[in-house]
Chain A
Amino acid sequence: MVQQTARAIRDDIAQGRASASDVCRAFLERTQALNPTLNAFNHVAADRALARAKAIDAQRAAGASLGPLAGVPIALKDNMSVRGMRTTASSKILDTYVPVYDATVVQRLEAAGAVILGKTNCDEFAMGSSNENSAYGPVRNPWATDRTPGGSSGGSAAAVAARCVPVALGSDTGGSVRQPGSFCGVIGLKPTYGRVSRYGLLAFASSLDQIGPLGRTAADAALVLSVIAGADPCDATTAREPVPDFSAALTGDVKGVRIGVPRTFMADGVDPAVLRAVDDALATLNSAGATVVDVELPHAKYAIPVYYLVATAEASSNLARYDGVKYGHRADDAKTLREMYSRSRDEGFGPEVKRRIMLGTYVLSAGYYDAFYLKALQVRTLLRRDYEQAFEKVDVVAMPTAPTPAFRLGDKTDDPLQMYLADIFTVSAPLAGLPAISVPCGFADGLPIGLQLTGRFFDESMLLRIADAYERVTDWSRQSPAI
């Protein structure tokens, strides 16, 4: 049962071969058995999930029409609001926070019949690349439990890889869906900026944040994206672009598709095993009829400083709301309002969040704004133009998702800059607002490797089509960790 894809589960339930309740119980059992080892969930909502599943079964028994995700268990990163379900962003400052409204993605998933199994562990406020910044401890990689699952959506990626759920949602600001997807050997898709509503997502960097699906197949990612995508009056940055049927794009055919590879940008610092796996994947796609050519992204090498200047500036503003007044932790016995603010924030935020608030405050402060923040926004424009030029020649740009397979827990925790440098391949797509996907493309010493494809604005269909065609001729995504 737990090896099934979301699509197969949906079909089995719709056609009466399985009940939503049995499906829900099977995934809950798996989750409860593995979570003590993986720490992938902050909260398992077993009773609520079973009640929802029972309602789906009742709907079917009554002959009512079922939604496209009817009875499919799903896990949500713990930075998405579910009414009445504790939502912490893995931060002490929100340890007791219970949202009073649903995120738009939650409304849409539940309207489509999805069954929310629980909330997954992540880096605090989605700030991190290893899940080690969680107030509730790190998640462990199901492929090797001494390794990071990646971050910040590490719990969602680990839960999918370990078959605790067939699909999950993460949020991606600088790679937080794609890099854990790569480290855990599952598909991770960051949609185009504005494709999916951010209403009810706890904000980190508002010009970059985007919710995206994690799953084991391109078809499952397409299915979930079709449900959650589309304009939302509650998020003014959602695009009015029509939402296609992403599943219809999965033709299995990549003939004539043009793939660009930024060789110069990939020349330094990439693990040879990762480079080999990516080259093999490109050769496979080439044999299937795609053409592979070199492209240049001259400003991609600056994407890390640009990203950390822009994202931290936005974070310093967004996280000003955590002040001990409206929700979250409040320090005891503060004598003045100012002391209450400062002490509540010092007690509630972890070190990485403080570091980023500090950096963002610095680059926005008088005397540094032009030299750092404004300059970064200008280089962001140059980076967008690099992609625009590449897309005159090619349909997608391919590169590794991460320069290495999953690193060991503790390896980079003492040196924030080294941790940031590991994001080199994922930060440019969100800066340019473009959709990007990580597709499992091999293993090195038993650890998964991901191929990243970045597409044109609103062309998630092309990314899913290539990922699906690649899956059909390889078996990486059918591998399962021994856990």
Chain B
Amino acid sequence: MEWYHRRMAVLTVADVERIAALALLELTDDEKQLFTRQLADILDYAQQVQAIDTSGVPATAHVHAGQRTERDDEPRASLPVEEAVANAPDANADAGLFRVPRVIGG
């Protein structure tokens, strides 16, 4: 197939580490090696879209983009606090708060 004859997409382990940091994923060394190879394969294949002439073509992010969805800004019933925190790994239901490790200083 034609896309195989083009230059392979260059993707390094350092790229994968950078993306993983952006995506908040802590990858093992094995995962980094595997994803470097697999993502390079996929991106190399995906590069074929770059050869298509799209000058002046608008983007479709959403097929019903024109639909109006406003409603009156009135409060409605919502989840009680104890239900909203019911699935949290660590919550204080009485205070209605999620507990997390220290964010500042330490």
Contacts and interface: CB of A to CB of B under 8 A. Distances in A.
Contact of A329 (B49, B89, B103): B89
Contacts of B95: none
A358 B26 contact: no
Contact of B101 (A336, A381, A382): A336
Given A358-B20, A381-B58, A381-B59, A325 B87 contact: no
A476 B20 CA distance: 47
B100 A97 contact: no
B26 A346 contact: yes
A376 B57 contact: no
Contacts of A237: 62, 64, 67, 69
Contacts of A97: 87
B62 A378 contact: no
Interface in A303-330: 304-306, 308-309, 316, 320, 323-330
B14 interface: no
A328 B89 CA distance: 7
A425 B28 CA distance: 35
Interface string A361-396: 110010000011011111111101000000000000
Interface in B1-52: 15-16, 19-20, 22-28, 31, 34-35, 38-39, 41-43, 45-50, 52
A272 interface: no
Main secondary structure of the interface of B (DSSP, over half): loop
Contacts of B43: 359, 362, 372
Contact of B63 (A100, A342, A433): A433
Interface residues of A, number: 70
Interface in B65-106: 67, 69, 71, 79, 83-90, 98, 100-103, 106
A432 interface: yes
B1 to A, nearest CB: 9
Interface of B: 15-16, 19-20, 22-28, 31, 34-35, 38-39, 41-43, 45-50, 52, 54, 57-64, 67, 69, 71, 79, 83-90, 98, 100-103, 106
Interface of A: 96-98, 100-101, 193-194, 207, 233, 236-237, 239-240, 299, 302, 304-306, 308-309, 316, 320, 323-330, 334-343, 345-346, 349, 351, 354-355, 357-359, 361-362, 365, 371-372, 374-382, 384, 416-417, 420, 431-433
What 10 A-B pairs come out closest when comparing CB atoms? A433-B63, A377-B59, A327-B87, A330-B89, A378-B54, A236-B69, A342-B26, A305-B46, A100-B83, A361-B23
21 contacts: A98-B87, A240-B67, A299-B52, A304-B45, A305-B45, A326-B88, A328-B89, A334-B101, A335-B106, A345-B24, A354-B27, A357-B25, A358-B39, A361-B22, A374-B59, A377-B59, A380-B60, A416-B38, A416-B41, A420-B42, A433-B64
